[in-house]
Structure 1
């Protein structure tokens, strides 16, 4: 099982390049950056985690900038978005960002995406909350056209453009892995429909009990379950449970790290490094 670390990179967190080097030195597979473009003063939707919204949500850097710094400071560490809110981004520009960071990193980018929860944030971008998942799917379908064709065009209900030339193309072929975040069953279905993996979020109960159902859904849709990576974000530090997840086919576990200074962040990294050693012993 692979292990990674995710964080809201901020002006007060451990710098991305320093954290990336620390993770690579300790044998982690990947580093992940969270995203919110901004936090509106109004709130139509409550924070899914309950209570007040944590400060790093307000202060987070652009994930592509932070991950570029991480990529330039390392040689093997993969870099990923956890998750990119594509439904409130321009599809053509985001396709260029993804291909560019894949080029800069030498093919190490993992494209974690999600439909988001903050209605006010999306509406400030002109995204309709009720149709955000359709926009997310069309955005990814349009990006795939851009990444794989010298002359790309896409005509959906929300995303549409006539033939264009857009470079660079990604290093990874046909494009970086698209890991779709979401709950069960709807998020799982989206991952099977147009993704290369699933990031289970807001799942009630033990996700391990849902994996056989996910695999059956994949087979019913004509997908090989082995081709769909399962990435667990922020699991409990339970070695036995993580070993069980590995046996069930979970490919990677990503620890949520604090948006804090070097000492507190590295203490968390080291605790997870010991868990990684025990799980993979």
Structure 2
């Protein structure tokens, strides 16, 4: 099992010195990866429902550092951590420019980029960015993934898609990783699973929150569906990486509160022993990477959470 952590993109812990302290300590503690979320702008009025809270309200403060710029910054502050876009909203950016930026970061980080992708949920952000049609974002995303792979592996390269086209050109250097950086697909819907089966090197769902618990039985059902879809696509399911994100968006709904309310305990909540049991259960399902949320309002508390995870929880899970 490998372990990663969320990097803040807003608040006082998103200051340069705090970000550097977090990734340097995470690397020293032996974490495998750091994941970076994606938002570019936040319209002041949002009617879109956020998929990872029970209320549907977005929990952030509606500010965020830009994902790929932050990724490049972190690449220069680390030497071993995998750098994961978690997830990058594919239709937000020009796909050719995005492919070049990701290839550049992969070259400069000496092959440490993992491209986690999703189709997005915030219609108002799509409209503000003059991005692709929100209602066709799935088809757009599939095409952009095909474009990425072409740009990263062919020279010269041309592309003639429904949503984007260009004649023969050179877009070098290619990424260090061959044939290209791993592509992990976020989401847990059937279209997302089909996207993994056709385009992905891994599945990277969010779980362990009240809106989307993805408890072991639910996770097993999704994996069974994914294996079937992957085999139907003529691919080997065993080649897929399964990376599970366990954030705590609804922090008031802890394991204890869930218990008092008569609800089933949320995965990765409760006592250290319960969390260790959860880690073993997901590893048994085939999860090979767990991403935990150590973010806090202060750097000191974020570092304490990271230390607790690395010193008290992970050793028990691996013991």
Instruction: Give the TM-score band, short-chain normalised.
Output: over 0.9
Unaligned residue ranges in structure 1 (runs of 5+): none
Q: CA deviation at 1:210?
A: 2.5
Give yes or no for contact 1:9–1:33 (8 Å, CA) kept in 2. yes
From 259, 266, 279, give the equivalent of 1:242.
279
Aligned partner of 1:46 in structure 2 is 49
* Partner secondary structure for residue 229 of structure 2: helix
From 75, 86, 92, give the equivalent of 2:96.
92
1:123 aligns with 2:123: no
TM-score by length of 1: 0.93
* Partner secondary structure for residue 73 of structure 1: coil
Aligned partner of 1:175 in structure 2 is 180
Structure showing greater radius of gyration is 2
Rounded Cα–Cα distance in structure 2 between residues aligned with 1:97 and 1:197: 21
Instruction: Return 237-246 or 96-105, whichever deviates more.
Output: 237-246
Aligned partner of 2:271 in structure 1 is none
Aligned partner of 2:13 in structure 1 is 13
Q: CA deviation at 1:203?
A: 6.5
Rounded Cα–Cα distance in structure 2 between residues aligned with 1:119 and 1:176: 28
Rounded Cα–Cα distance in structure 1 between residues aligned with 2:306 and 2:221: 28
Unaligned residue ranges in structure 2 (runs of 5+): 207-211, 248-266, 269-274
* Partner secondary structure for residue 80 of structure 1: strand
Aligned partner of 2:25 in structure 1 is 22
RMSD: 1.8
Q: CA deviation at 1:204?
A: 5.3
Rounded Cα–Cα distance in structure 2 between residues aligned with 1:113 and 1:190: 10
Give yes or no for contact 1:178–1:197 (8 Å, CA) kept in 2. yes
Instruction: Return 200-209 or 264-273, whichever deviates more.
Output: 200-209
Describe the shift of the 1:164–1:259 C-alpha distance in structure 2 as closer, same or farther (beyond 3 A).
Answer: farther
* Partner secondary structure for residue 197 of structure 2: helix
From 36, 59, 73, give the equivalent of 2:77.
73
TM-score by length of 2: 0.83
Give yes or no for contact 2:89–2:120 (8 Å, CA) kept in 1. yes
Aligned length: 280
From 196, 201, 204, give the equivalent of 1:196.
201
Q: CA deviation at 1:279?
A: 2.0
